[in-house]
Structure 1
Amino acid sequence: MSVRLEGVYAPVVTPFRADLTPDPERFIAHCRWLVEQNSGLAVFGTNSEANSLSVGERKALLEGLVENGVPAARMMPGTGCCSIPETVDLTCHAVDLGAPGVLMLPPFYYKGVSDDGLYRHYSEVIQQVGDARLRICLYHIPQVSGVPISLPLIERLIAAYPDTVVGIKDSSGNWDNTEAMLKAFPGFRIFPASESLFARSLPLGAAGCISATANVNPGAMHRLWSTWQAPEAAGLQAEVDRIRTTFARYPMMIAAMKATIAHYLGDPCWRIVRPPLDEFPEERTRALVDELARAGFDMPGLQREPA
């Protein structure tokens, strides 16, 4: 039986060592904590610094998760690259390891490309992977990729590959676009990029969300997703909105989340980001942590792995 892609997913932040190589031990520990908090693992998404990682680094980290007992069924790895061969390589690897779905950026270097060109790209990837187990969630983040995924393109891909192209992450930040997707494609697994949209998106059939702040607040977000029709949902929505809004005030969100994890673990190595990103400043970390404390924020169960 195939795994249903739904719920809260974290685009898992990637820890680095002082020499800027990926740190698999910290990565595994963080993924284990996220799974314990009922979060899925959208490893190698935007907040994972995925496009600062090589194909080999991504494959090694994913293999390390599986080899150390992190369930592949909870994973939706990012596999979209500019080149078809790299996308096929990462996608085949994820499918072979048992991931029930992959999150696939469009080829993002060339701008102004046509829907026909994007369709041929996705079609070629699907044909070359050639595996009936493949399930793709498209990744629409035009403000970063510069390559939008239009509704007509989605419709065309669903018509051609109904069992393969099964969903999309909408990171446009445009509610009108998200709403249009939800209304146009009932049953399609649509994941807004913010838990703050749950009150509007879940009644229209959204599958959940793939949100940066799931890295630090997964338990509360899962409770909201699983009880959104219950009387307490409004209160839970207000709580997660407050945390989301707090992080949104700090534009270096990847670095801010890493600094938050470093603080709650007492582990300064978690602050490291790979260039060209910059580490979150110490003085801003103190301000962020103080603001989170006033909001009653915590990261329950977070434990530093023994050396």
Structure 2
Amino acid sequence: MSNLFEGVFTALITPFKNNQIDGEAFRNLIEFQIANGVHGIVPCGTTGESATLSHEEHREVIRLAILAAAGRVKVIAGAGSNSTSESIELARHAQQAGADGALLITPYYNKPGQEGLYQHYRAIAESVQIPLVLYNVPGRTGVDLLPATVARLANMGSIVGLKEATGGMERASTIRRMCGNAITLFSGDDATFLPFLSIGGKGVISVTSNVAPAQMVAIWNAWQAGDAAKALEAHEFLLDLNQKLFCETNPIPVKAAAAMLGLCEPEIRLPLTWLAENNQAIVRATLVKMGLLAAA
């Protein structure tokens, strides 16, 4: 079951309008993703501002995503929390709603040790039947899921993937060597998508593909076709955008970029604030340079 998810998965933004979920914009965003060839969508992750969604809103976003996808692409529902019981509840909801999988960030703020991380994920895996994807992003959570712990968890049948967002190729290679095909490696850092593929990774859970899905898919398609030169060209084409979309805390820049493209309203929830004017100009210029946005 480890190869259940492969390819380009978009870590979806959550569009808001008057501080409410903008269902129409969300559905249109998903159609945009599917039309441009992504293999899956990931609602209610970090990029979806999950930290400021109420439980009711979280469930609604998952429901809307599954309905909009309509079986055409995989849906991996964000279900992470720093509370194990809450994460179990969210994973159960994802399963009941019909998601194809659940994404589980490492418990933030609590800073559990490796045994705590193992027991956290084990408890979730034993409580649901839905396929689970681990998510390691120590820069945001303050805790690092080490390769040895990933290897312990890879022995559980329902844990099928890892979104590794450290950007470290040596780290990714170590995980790959220790786990083999027992777990699917996803890049959680857009600029390392192609390098991940070169060391045995099978996909990306991407921020950039919110606004440039076809361009991210081009990397995957070229690599799958055995055309390393074309994959490298596609990778380098996206480098500037990948960098600019992290000029401030994610998802501030990508949501601004999406608004520039007419994909959502220019609205984000506190404590995040809108992209600074100088950075707006930089992001807009990058989109224009890439041909994604018409020059003003």
Normalised by the length of structure 2, the TM-score is: 0.89
Gaps of 5+ in 1: 300-307
Q: Which amino acid is the alignment partner of residue 199 of structure 2? A: L
- Aligned 1:1-307 pairs, distance under 5 A: 4-18=4-18, 20-39=19-38, 40-68=40-68, 70-71=70-71, 73-111=73-111, 113-129=112-128, 131=129, 134-159=130-155, 161=156, 163-187=157-181, 188-228=183-223, 229-230=226-227, 231-248=229-246, 250-265=247-262, 270-298=265-293
Following the alignment from structure 1 to structure 2, what is the Cα–Cα distance between the partners of residues 38 and 260?
20
Say which is worse superposed, 66-75 or 144-153, in terms of deviation.
66-75
Following the alignment from structure 1 to structure 2, what is the Cα–Cα distance between the partners of residues 92 and 174?
32
| Contact 2:43/2:61, CA 8 A, preserved across alignment | no
Following the alignment from structure 1 to structure 2, what is the Cα–Cα distance between the partners of residues 192 and 175?
10
Say which is worse superposed, 173-182 or 218-227, in terms of deviation.
173-182
Task: Give CA-to-partner distance per residue, 1:142-161, whole Å, 9 cap, x none.
Answer: 111112111121111122x1
Q: Counting strand residues as a fraction of each chain, which structure ranks higher?
A: 2
CA spacing shift, 1:169–1:290, aligned 2, 3 Å: same
Following the alignment from structure 1 to structure 2, what is the Cα–Cα distance between the partners of residues 151 and 232?
31
Task: Tell me the C-alpha RMSD between the 2 structures.
Answer: 2.3
Following TM superposition, where does structure 1 have runs of at least 4 consecutive aligned residues deviating by more than 4 angstroms? none
Give % identity: 26
Q: Which amino acid is the alignment partner of residue 155 of structure 1? A: A
- Residue 91 of structure 1: how far off its partner (Å): 0.8
Where 1:245 maps in the other structure, the secondary structure is helix
Gaps of 5+ in 2: none
Q: Which amino acid is the alignment partner of residue 114 of structure 1? A: G
CA spacing shift, 1:247–1:122, aligned 2, 3 Å: closer
- Residue 85 of structure 1: how far off its partner (Å): 2.6
CA spacing shift, 1:145–1:123, aligned 2, 3 Å: same
Following the alignment from structure 1 to structure 2, what is the Cα–Cα distance between the partners of residues 153 and 262?
39
Following the alignment from structure 1 to structure 2, what is the Cα–Cα distance between the partners of residues 4 and 76?
11
| Contact 2:133/2:160, CA 8 A, preserved across alignment | yes
